[in-house]
Chain A
Amino acid sequence: MNQQEILRYSPKELLNIYPFLEAFFAGQSWILKLDQQQKLGLLLEQVDEEQQEDYAFDKADFIGQLSDFISQMETFMGKKDKAVETLMVLPGQNKSGEAETFSELIFKTQTITSIVGPTGSGKSRLLADIEWVAQADTPTMRRVLINNEKPDTSWRFSGNKKLVAQLSQNMNFVMDLSVIEFLELHAKSRMVANSDELIRRIIDAANELVGEKFERYMPITSLSGGQSRALMIADTALLSQSPVVLIDEIENAGIDRKKALKILTGEDKIVLMATHDPILALMADQRIVIKNGGIYKVIQTSEAEKAMLAELEKADQKLQLLRMSLRQGEILAE
Chain B
Amino acid sequence: MNLVTISGPPSSGKTAVTIKAAENLMKRGVKVGAVKFDCLHTDDDLAYEKAGIPVKKGLSGSLCPDHYFVSNIEAVTDWGIKEGFDLLVSESAGLCNRCSPYIKEIKAVCVIDNLSGINTPKKIGPMLRMADIVVITKGDIVSQAEREVFAAGVYAVNPGAIIMHINGLTGQGAYEFSTLLYDEKIKIDTLKGRKLRFSMPSALCSYCLGETRIGESYQMGNVRKINLDEKA
Contacts and interface: CB of A to CB of B under 8 A. Distances in A.
A174 B142 contact: yes
A305 interface: no
Contacts, number: 128
Contacts of A69: 156, 159
Interface in A170-195: 170-175, 182-183, 185-186, 189-190
Interface string A214-233: 00000000000000100010
B59 interface: no
B175 A232 contact: no
A55 B202 CA distance: 12
Interface stretch (B32-40, B84-92, B123-131, B187-195): B123-131
Interface stretch (B3-11, B73-81, B160-168, B206-214): B160-168
Contact of A127 (B146, B147, B164, B172): B172
A185 B176 contact: no
7 tightest A-B CB contacts, nearest first: A159-B163, A189-B152, A23-B156, A159-B155, A56-B125, A69-B159, A157-B162
A236 B144 CA distance: 7
B144 A165 contact: yes
B139 interface: yes
A232 B148 contact: no
A138 interface: yes
10 contacts: A24-B156, A157-B164, A160-B151, A160-B155, A166-B147, A167-B144, A175-B146, A186-B149, A189-B148, A189-B149
Interface of A: 23-24, 26-27, 53, 55-56, 58, 61, 65, 68-69, 72-73, 124, 127-128, 131-132, 137-139, 156-160, 162, 165-168, 170-175, 182-183, 185-186, 189-190, 228, 232, 235-236, 239-242
A128 B145 contact: no
Given A65-B129, A174-B146, A53 B175 contact: no
Given A27-B157, A58-B198, A132-B176, A171 B141 contact: yes
B115 interface: yes
A61 B145 contact: no
A188 to B, nearest CB: 8
Contacts of A172: 141-143
A26 B119 CA distance: 10
A53 B202 contact: yes
B123 to A, nearest CB: 9
Given A26-B122, A174-B142, 4 more contacts: A56-B129, A56-B198, A138-B175, A160-B151
A189 B146 CA distance: 10
Contacts of B27: 139
B108 interface: no
B156 A27 contact: yes
B106 interface: no
A144 to B, nearest CB: 13
B146 A190 contact: no
Contact of A166 (B144, B151, B199): B144
Given A56-B98, A65-B160, A138-B176, A159 B170 contact: no
Given A68-B159, A68-B160, A128-B173, A235 B179 contact: no
